[in-house]
Amino acid sequence: MEQKNKAERSPAARNDGRGKVTSYDVASLAGVSQSAVSRCFKPGASISAKIRGKVEKAARQLGYQPNAIARGLISGRSNIVAVIINNLTNLIYPEVLSELNQKFAQHGQHVLLFTLSRESDVDRVLDQVWQYQVDGIVAAAQFTDAQLAACEARCTPLVFYNRIYPNHSVASVCCDHEEGERLLVEGLLRSGRESFAVVSGPADSAVSTARTHGAINALKSAGIPYRQIEGDYSYECAKGIVNSLLAKDSRKINAIVCANDVMAIGCIDQLVHVHGMRVPEDISVVGFDGVSAASWENYNLTTIVQPVSRMVDAAVQMLIERIESFDLPVEKRIFSGKMRFGASASLR
Amino acid sequence: MEQKNKAERSPAARNDGRGKVTSYDVASLAGVSQSAVSRCFKPGASISAKIRGKVEKAARQLGYQPNAIARGLISGRSNIVAVIINNLTNLIYPEVLSELNQKFAQHGQHVLLFTLSRESDVDRVLDQVWQYQVDGIVAAAQFTDAQLAACEARCTPLVFYNRIYPNHSVASVCCDHEEGERLLVEGLLRSGRESFAVVSGPADSAVSTARTHGAINALKSAGIPYRQIEGDYSYECAKGIVNSLLAKDSRKINAIVCANDVMAIGCIDQLVHVHGMRVPEDISVVGFDGVSAASWENYNLTTIVQPVSRMVDAAVQMLIERIESFDLPVEKRIFSGKMRFGASASLR
């Protein structure tokens, strides 16, 4: 089997003018200096229209592309941002990632993706992040004090997505989880529900902690008893949780507050298809996120819709600003979610 | 407002030993040569345990990280692979992306993500891909001949995901779309269905073309009439398609073959909740993909489950091999999907 590696092939490719063409090749063909070619591809650099025309023609002819990596080493900019994100199968994060990717591209930044199996699994990826000399980080994950300090020491700007650190000064974009849960619980109470279950996400999820806290605070303020059960954000876990809720408290619980939409969907399916209950007549179910499946006819969830597009706009803008000027004052932008009045709970 | 940029801060950061530490700093502290430090961080390079111990201690002390970008310029490897992927909100692709990301990481490769709004929108991102000198590309998108030639000319290995080019020699991993559709249609025919609608995806989707072709071929072979309607893979489009099918052919159509699961889910919701029909008693609906929502109790789709994990394994392995040896023989790996016998069509 013939095997040639990339390095061995390069000279041949260069010979026929199709391979890794350099700025010197372009300068030679265009009859200009190499520095003119370089200026032509540098955003904002001044160059005459005539020379630009010559360079662009020669570059097209040779298939020349400026080397972003080499340029990055010189300028100290890689034009790469790291996105550290948990569990892409969680339905809301693919939407977030897709928006982040498109909006960073508009600023000439590209997304190097790091996925975690658990939110607290940051150490493993952070070593790799440093190696790529990224210009900045968007993190939907939990950082320790040491990890925050490492970003600070490296002057790498960092914007947290959907979590804030009450005790730390770190730039963050967040949906107001507690307010959203309070609105849901107050609505359920007004609609006459008085026996609650609160289904949280994994213990190391900051989003789940904030949402569960919000729901429980609202219930405590109203003096309403509740049961709290830990899930893992999945459809499957929700089905088991419904079984255990009904086994122990049959007919008693009439409202389930879930820390995300997917668990609310799992609860509804189990209540309706397995236990023959009516939602919302027998029991109300509410979620949080506003994923696309929440508006599917069969579920029509009552939930809090995160303003994903506005939140991503904010995160991108904040990170881009901080890449330009590392020492900008810390800012936390907290967005209110929007109540979706669905059919899984009658709140109006 | 005080504004300092990253470059201005760097000297200070370097002074206190926390900033961009170089291999020379490590060498100096460890009392070894810079080349010893370099060898210590180069996979496979030989170095004595004693020197390695000194270097690692000094590196830890200074917070030194080798610069992957600079190393890439020297070695000709960036350790970055581009993943060009369509529409992350399509439910199957987040699963694929998450698996790709984790499996490439095991090979020391990181994913630079390029998302397309349409499969044919490749030109816009390819310019950017070249600038990052990626080691290879996984593409779930349509390439033109010129784009394929550009990859060849640059000796950049390319593996297509979920599409094959019958007329081109390009490495590909693909689910057998046509076989899957044939199995679904033959099952529907055996179950007594005889009036079909085939709902395709967007016209520029190679996956949709292959699936629709498979379904129609099977129907033609059996001499069965059908109506073909173009959708866009979304839940929403499917609802409109059901309306138009029932308006024109009320009671006539008794099987809908959808080019993906999400459209099948949209069809079921519209048939059941809006038109009061029973699935599968009045009408059978089948999808394709095997997304997680396909197994939700309420839908329980009859569909073809793509072996995502095995397909991603294959794509990663093929690309890694070709990064090592660009001229490996072209290989196309075609995986059969697995029939999921759900409740949306009674096929057994």
How many Å apart are CA A325 and CA A305, to the nearest integer?
A: 33
How many Å apart are CA A57 and CA A39, to the nearest integer?
A: 15
Long-range own/partner contacts, residues B5-10 (CB < 8 A, 24 or more apart): B5/A324, B5/A325, B5/A326, B6/A76, B6/A155, B6/A323, B6/A326, B7/A76, B9/A155, B9/A326, B9/A327, B10/A76, B10/A155
B105: how many CB neighbours lie within 10 A of its CB?
18
Task: Answer whether A102 touches B (CB < 8 Å).
Answer: yes
Fold of B75-175+308-336: Rossmann fold (3.40.50)
CB-nearest partner of A13 from B101, B155, B325: B155
- pLDDT, tens digit, 9 for 90 and up, residues B86-110: 766 677 888 899 899 989 988 989 9
pLDDT tier, B18 (very low <50, low <70, confident <90, very high otherwise) = very low
The letter for the amino acid at A16 is: D
Asked if B72's CB is within 8 angstroms of A73's CB, the reply is: no
Chain B residue with the nearest C-alpha to that of A235: B296
**Residues on chain B touching A154 (C-beta within 8 angstroms):** 13, 18-20
Fold of A75-175+308-335: Rossmann fold (3.40.50)
- Structure token pair of residue A165: 């650190």
Provide the greatest CA pair distance for chain B. Answer: 85
Task: Answer whether A326 touches B (CB < 8 Å).
Answer: yes
Sketch the domain layout of chain A as residue ranges.
Answer: 6-66, 75-175+308-335, 177-306
Asked if B274's CB is within 8 angstroms of A6's CB, the reply is: no
Asked if B89's CB is within 8 angstroms of A235's CB, the reply is: no
Q: Where are the alpha helices (DSSP H) in B77-205?
A: 92-105, 122-131, 145-153, 177-190
- pLDDT, tens digit, 9 for 90 and up, residues A59-80: 878 877 776 666 666 677 888 9
- Spell out the CATH class of A6-66: mainly alpha
Query: Considering only residues 282 to 321 of chain B, which have any Cβ-Cβ distance to chain A shorter than 8 Å?
Result: 292-293, 296-299
ipTM, two decimals = 0.76
- Domains A75-175+308-335 and A177-306 fall in the same CATH topology: yes
pLDDT of res. A310: 95
pTM assigned to the model: 0.81
pLDDT tier, B221 (very low <50, low <70, confident <90, very high otherwise) = very high
pLDDT tier, B324 (very low <50, low <70, confident <90, very high otherwise) = very high
So what's the architecture of B177-306 in CATH? 3-Layer(aba) Sandwich (3.40)
Beta strands in chain A (DSSP E): 80-86, 110-116, 136-140, 158-161, 172-175, 196-200, 226-230, 255-258, 284-286, 303-305, 332-335, 338-340
Query: Quick one: DSSP state of residue A66?
Result: -
Angle between helices B177-190 and B206-221 (to 10 degrees): 40
C-alpha angle with apex A89: A86 to A90, nearest 5 degrees? 70
- Cβ(A262)–Cβ(A233) under 8 Å? yes
Containing B228, the helix (H) or strand (E) segment is strand B226-230
pLDDT of res. B35: 86
Asked if A97's CB is within 8 angstroms of B327's CB, the reply is: no
- Structure token pair of residue A29: 């063909």
How many Å apart are CA A295 and CA B218, to the nearest integer?
A: 34
Query: Considering only residues 230 to 249 of chain B, which have any Cβ-Cβ distance to chain A shorter than 8 Å?
Result: 235, 239
- Minimum mean pLDDT among A41-55, A166-180, A190-204, A291-305: which range? A41-55
Burial class of residue B66, CB neighbours in 10 A (0-12, 13-18, 19+): middle
pLDDT of res. A47: 81
Computed over every residue of chain B, the mean pLDDT equals 87
- Cβ(A265)–Cβ(A235) under 8 Å? yes
pLDDT at B335 over 80: yes
pLDDT tier, A293 (very low <50, low <70, confident <90, very high otherwise) = very high
**Residues on chain A touching B112 (C-beta within 8 angstroms):** 80, 110-113
Angle between helices B92-105 and B308-324 (to 10 degrees): 40
B123-145 mean pLDDT: 88
Asked if B102's CB is within 8 angstroms of A115's CB, the reply is: yes
Computed over every residue of chain A, the mean pLDDT equals 87
pLDDT tier, B16 (very low <50, low <70, confident <90, very high otherwise) = very low
pLDDT at A120 over 70: no
